């Protein structure tokens, strides 16, 4: 018996992406270790505790305007008076943000500023633009204001607890911390946060053709040599996902060298990530090397770009082998490795969201496999397609601002709604 998607069954059906993803995520047991980091440093980390608020935010009813805190009933009374006194009330206190006033004396108003607590007895704020400060006898401002109409009760008052109530879970375990989440944690007084430890990832590229930029000048490149581009975007993607990366460089296409690199990488890492050499050609040594040290499943996933993909284990480390073609490597990282690394850190919802957007292109040559087309949003609210969708053309991933997730065999006509996944959804 051979399994779907296994290379031992070349004519068997390729494995659907969703099956590959759920199998892969079943291996992503969250790392047990947690650590405390400063809330300042926690952007992009994964929360390892529920954050429960010990206080309400805001802590007290406060003004959302610069103006005057009033009692509506008193304003109505003042408006009954005959001109020129109609609507006039004396200012009995001044309350700035950071101070607290005293109960509002009857038939007076309180000068108040944004964020300052509403004094006991006041039930509305009138913004200063709607108040007239009467001139005093000496020509300067007096201590009396005129209000033209009765405000609605509650006007310009931000209620205590309208953001966070006491005892509320403001952020949950498993949440990926964003800049706004750091602000929210700070608003309930948290200066340290318990987060999952960073996954330690060893990264290497395989391929005798690979040369590091800087080692050989473009005009000196030997025939057949190419620069190692995967190493640069894979490292950057890993860092964005909160990983500690050990960059083990380029490993030659030899079994002994591949075995040695894997053995070294398995030492202190949670994941060994490689690109290239994952097919079953004579120059592809990943499969036999991983098998000699541990175990490996090589999957032929029904997606384009990105068919070959390997998951295995070497000692205590997870192993993931990505295809060598740059766009295949990039796309399989985003679709499979990213959710895997998020779940290692305890993220509970790593599902990728797509949105429906009209295609402003045609795609007649639909593939049997589910395709991820490099596209870009245009000013008219539609999607343009990068002309060359080859898995070796990295320009497509730079020109594009996302992927169209196109079902197997689905041709696309102009105006059809397609599923769009913005890169911003995948690179955050």
277 forms part of the interface with ligand AMP (CB under 6 A): yes
Q: How far is the CB of 293 from ligand AMP (least distance, A)?
A: 19
99 CB-contact burial (10 Å; exposed 0-12 / middle 13-18 / buried 19+): exposed
Tokens of 390: 């080859």
Q: How far is the CB of 401 from ligand AMP (least distance, A)?
A: 22
Which range, of 35-43, 202-210, 294-302, 303-311, touches Mg ion by CB under 5 A? 202-210
Q: Kindly tell me which residue out of 77, 229, 354, 410 binds ligand AMP, with binding defined by CB under 6 A.
A: 229
Q: Kindly tell me which residue out of 44, 117, 242, 276 binds ligand AMP, with binding defined by CB under 6 A.
A: 276
Q: Kindly tell me which residue out of 53, 63, 228, 345 binds ligand AMP, with binding defined by CB under 6 A.
A: 228
Which range, of 103-111, 201-209, 354-362, 381-389, touches Mg ion by CB under 5 A? 201-209
Tokens of 301: 């996933």
Q: Kindly tell me which residue out of 56, 62, 63, 230 binds ligand AMP, with binding defined by CB under 6 A.
A: 230
Q: Kindly tell me which residue out of 207, 305, 339, 422 binds Mg ion, with binding defined by CB under 5 A.
A: 207
Which residues, 6 or more positions from 72, have their beta carbon under 8 angstroms from its beta carbon? 123, 124, 150, 151, 152, 153
Q: Kindly tell me which residue out of 44, 101, 199, 207 binds ligand AMP, with binding defined by CB under 6 A.
A: 207
Are 387 and 328 in contact, with CB atoms under 8 Å apart? no
Map the footprint of Mg ion across residues 317-336, applying CB under 5 A: 324
Nearer to ligand AMP, 87 or 276 (CB): 276
321 forms part of the interface with ligand AMP (CB under 6 A): no
CA 336 from chain centre, in angstroms, equals 16
Q: Which helix (H) or strand (E) holds 80?
A: helix 72-80
Which range, of 112-120, 141-149, 224-232, 379-387, touches ligand AMP by CB under 6 A? 224-232
User: Which alpha helices (DSSP H) does 159-293 contain, by range?
Assistant: 179-187, 230-240, 255-265, 286-293
CA torsion, ordered 61, 66, 67, 70, to nearest 10 deg = 0
Nearer to ligand AMP, 199 or 305 (CB): 305
276 forms part of the interface with Mg ion (CB under 5 A): yes
Give the interface size with Mg ion as a residue count (CB under 5 A). Answer: 4
Residues 259, 12: Cα–Cα separation, whole Å: 29
Do you find a cis peptide bond into 84, omega within 30 degrees of 0? yes
Which range, of 58-66, 207-215, 336-344, 366-374, touches ligand AMP by CB under 6 A? 207-215
Q: Kindly tell me which residue out of 53, 108, 258, 279 binds ligand AMP, with binding defined by CB under 6 A.
A: 279
Residues 150, 77: Cα–Cα separation, whole Å: 9
Q: Kindly tell me which residue out of 44, 101, 277, 323 binds Mg ion, with binding defined by CB under 5 A.
A: 277
The strands making up 308-314's β-sheet, listed across from edge to edge, are 244-251, 200-206, 271-275, 317-322, 308-314, 294-300
For residue 209, the partner it binds in ligand AMP, Mg ion, none, with Cβ less than 5 to 8 A by kind, is ligand AMP
325 forms part of the interface with ligand AMP (CB under 6 A): yes
305 forms part of the interface with ligand AMP (CB under 6 A): no
Which range, of 36-44, 90-98, 105-113, 204-212, touches ligand AMP by CB under 6 A? 204-212
- Specify the residue for token string 């059906």: 13
Q: Which helix (H) or strand (E) holds 398?
A: helix 395-399
Are 345 and 30 in contact, with CB atoms under 8 Å apart? yes
Tokens of 134: 């009467």
Strands 370-377 and 383-385: antiparallel
CA 327 from chain centre, in angstroms, equals 22
Residues 352, 336: Cα–Cα separation, whole Å: 10
Residues 357, 375: Cα–Cα separation, whole Å: 11
Q: Kindly tell me which residue out of 209, 244, 367, 425 binds ligand AMP, with binding defined by CB under 6 A.
A: 209
Which residues of this protein are in contact with Mg ion, per CB under 5 A?
A: 207, 276-277, 324
Binding site for ligand AMP (CB under 6 A): 205, 207, 209-210, 226, 228-231, 275-279, 323-326
């Amino acid at each position: 018996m051979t399994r779907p998607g296994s290379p031992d069954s070349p004519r068997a059906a390729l494995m659907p992406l969703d099956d590959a993803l759920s199998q892969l995520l079943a291996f992503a047991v969250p790392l047990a270790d947690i650590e405390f980091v400063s809330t300042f440093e926690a952007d992009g980390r994964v929360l390892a505790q529920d954050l429960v608020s010990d206080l309400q935010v805001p802590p007290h009813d406060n003004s959302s305007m610069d103006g005057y805190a009033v009692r509506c009933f008193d304003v109505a009374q003042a408006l009954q008076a005959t001109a020129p006194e109609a609507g006039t009330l004396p200012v009995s206190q001044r309350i700035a943000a950071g101070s607290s006033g005293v109960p509002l004396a009857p038939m007076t108003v309180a000068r108040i500023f944004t964020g300052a607590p509403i004094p006991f007895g006041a039930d509305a704020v009138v913004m200063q633009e709607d108040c007239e400060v009467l001139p005093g006898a000496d020509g300067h401002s007096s201590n009396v204001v005129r209000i033209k109409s009765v405000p609605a009760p509650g006007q310009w008052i931000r209620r205590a607890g309208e953001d966070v109530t006491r005892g509320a879970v403001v952020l949950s375990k498993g949440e990926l911390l964003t800049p706004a989440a750091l602000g929210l944690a700070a608003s309930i007084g948290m200066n340290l946060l318990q987060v999952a430890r960073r996954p330690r990832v060893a990264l290497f590229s395989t391929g005798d053709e690979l040369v590091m930029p800087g080692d050989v000048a473009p005009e000196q490149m030997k025939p057949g040599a190419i620069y190692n581009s995967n190493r640069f975007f894979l490292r950057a993607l890993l860092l964005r996902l909160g990983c500690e990366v050990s960059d083990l460089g380029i490993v030659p296409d030899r079994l002994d060298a591949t075995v040695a690199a894997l053995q070294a990488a398995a030492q202190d890492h949670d994941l060994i990530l490689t690109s290239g050499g994952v097919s079953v050609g004579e120059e592809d040594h990943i499969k036999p090397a991983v098998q000699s040290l541990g175990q490996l499943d090589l999957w032929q996933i029904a997606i384009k770009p990105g068919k070959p993909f390997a998951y295995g284990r070497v000692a205590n480390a997870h192993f993931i082998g990505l295809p060598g073609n740059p766009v295949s490597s990039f796309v399989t990282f985003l679709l499979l490795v990213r959710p895997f690394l998020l779940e290692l850190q305890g993220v509970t919802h790593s599902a990728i969201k797509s949105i429906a957007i009209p295609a402003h292109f045609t795609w007649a040559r639909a593939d049997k496999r589910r395709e991820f087309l490099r596209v870009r949003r245009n000013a008219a609210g539609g999607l343009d397609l990068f002309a060359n969708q080859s898995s070796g053309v990295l320009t497509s991933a730079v020109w594009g601002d996302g992927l169209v997730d196109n079902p197997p065999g689905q041709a696309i006509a102009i105006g059809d709604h397609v599923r769009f996944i913005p890169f911003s959804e995948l690179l955050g």
